[in-house]
Amino acid sequence: MLIRIVRMTFEEDKVDDFLKVFDESKEKIRHFPGCSHLELLKDYNQANVFSTYSYWEDDEALNNYRFSELFKGVWSQTKILFKEKPVAFSSKKYIEV
């Protein structure tokens, strides 16, 4: 399983716009083939910083999403709201205690 984390910092006055985009697309993303989990996290101290935390079957499933029309539509609406460049990375569970 691949865990994908994307940290996004938005313009303060664009947070509601982002939340609308996320709300309209979250079920489609979560039910995209190969996605088994999706969370939206809000930074504890910064109201304009959010992260998505998602589980993907493997690289192929994530890449299928990243090159899909769904992603292109969501990303085109989201990227114009950023204050800073997003940070994205993939991980896998190594140790759970």
Domains contained in the chain, CATH given: 2-91 (3.30.70.100)
The pTM for the full model equals: 0.94
**pLDDT score of 32:** 98
**pLDDT score of 46:** 98
Q: How confident is the model at residue 88 (pLDDT cuts 50, 70, 90)?
A: very high
**pLDDT score of 51:** 98
Tokens of 26: 């979250």
Closest CA to 13 of 64, 80, 68, 86: 80
Tokens of 24: 């309209």
**pLDDT score of 94:** 96
Burial 73-95 (b: 16+ CB within 10 A, else e): ebeebbeebeeeebeeeeeeeee
Residue range 21-44: mean pLDDT, rounded: 98
